[in-house]
Amino acid sequence: MDITHIKSQFPIFSRKINGKQLVYLDSSNSAQKPTSVLKALDNFYKNDFSNVGRSIHALAVNATNKFEETRVNVRNFINAESKDEIIFTKNATESINLVANTFGKQNIKKGDEILITELEHHSNYVPWHYLREMYGAIIKFAPINEDGDIIISKFKELITSKTKIIAITHLSNVTGTIVPIKEIVEIARKKNVPVLVDGCQSAPHIKIDVKDLDCDFYAISCHKVYGPTGVGVLYAKKKWLEKLPPYIGGGGMISEVKKDRITYAPLPEKYEAGTMPTAEVIAFSESIKFMESIGIENIVKHENELTNYALEKMKRINSLNIVGNPKKKAGVISFTIKGIHPHDISTIVDEEGVAIRAGHHCCQVLHERLNLIATARASIGVYNNKEDIDIFCNAIEKCRKVFDLK
């Protein structure tokens, strides 16, 4: 992989931060966008703009065709059975809320159980909390060990005859833990329990094959996959999309509207009410093409090597503690430095042009489990290289000097 060439495709890296070269280590928050994605957005608004699925003039037909082309590209990207199993939302949060809301209406009653884990992002906890409030459901948290791995034996024990759904992350945005989804789905299948996977962090960094995983639902946020903001994907097995009710009502998701009755559009339009983020969906095709041009296997190899390089360098820094040591880890490294608040770490390294995140990363339950209030986090993208890691580690050493740490 020619990282210099890859990096050159991202205009933002020509920018200086505080007069310094930008080192962007916040891709878990949101990834930067290649030129091809930016051009696609610009071109659509300049030359091709129209709403989709409404009119039959040339612009509308062209926009609709490009919109549907993205659906096919997403289907291929995650190896879904049918393009009708691909629903566009505004983000992964909405994708998870769609499932929680529609599944909850049909299947959740007082005393029913929802199984999640201590690793979950708030987006894969709060929607299920709503079901707890509305229907009296019970949320169970599968525990993790000190390394940040799910304790599979405990996970199995928490599944009962009252378990209605399992909702679980594929990759932790704090510890970098890669969760053994296939094993968990196999456990769930024996109990006839459906599984929703939060794939926000995994989609840019792991080869996703939903048929192999056999999960029922898979949620993706496109802005983390080098795509635009305002677009998410929900993959759902067709049997669920046919069975569950619509989520939002309005134009585009109807077949026939009468004063006394309404019938709904076929899949996937049934779940895509109103005007969709057309330009952003179309531009997301370029994100997929960008990743496929490099090869997901090459991306995984590069990011694994860079993660190991970063871990080795960071472990040599006095007073720095890396959070979690899972069996399988992706390029998400949360850490603390004794005597320095994570917000101060982030502020000082920013002076050196290094962008990292600090806080609880929308994972307060996990931070509480780890007895931490906040952490600093460096997260790797396809455009990062060893020079970025060196600059980052030098910035950390400067931070230590500011606080006069030995």
Which helix H or strand E contains 257, and what residues bound it?
strand 254-257
Please tell me the distance from the alpha carbon of residue 167 to that of residue 163, in angstroms, as a whole number. Answer: 11
The closest alpha carbon to 277, from 319, 322, 316, 230, belongs to 230
The closest alpha carbon to 363, from 132, 123, 181, belongs to 123
Rg of the chain in Å (alpha carbons): 22
- Asked if 93 and 123 touch (Cβ cutoff 8 Å), the reply is yes
Please tell me the distance from the alpha carbon of residue 359 to that of residue 378, in angstroms, as a whole number. Answer: 12
DSSP 8-state assignment for residue 275: -
- Phi first, then psi: give them for residue 150, nearest 5 degrees: -70, 135
Query: 348-374 burial, b for 16+ CB within 10 Å, e for fewer?
Result: bbbebbbbbbbbbbbbebbbebbebeb
Residue 73 is encoded by which pair of tokens?
A: 């590209």
Maximum Cα–Cα distance across the chain: 76
- DSSP β-bridge partners for residue 254: 264
Beta strands in 59-172 (DSSP E): 86-89, 113-117, 138-142, 163-169
DSSP secondary structure of 184-229: HHHHHHHTT--EEEE-TTTTTTS---HHHHT-SEEEEEGGGTT--S
- Phi first, then psi: give them for residue 100, nearest 5 degrees: -60, -45
DSSP 8-state assignment for residue 382: T
Residue 244 is encoded by which pair of tokens?
A: 């569950």
Residue 125 is encoded by which pair of tokens?
A: 């906890």
The catalytic site residues sit at 362
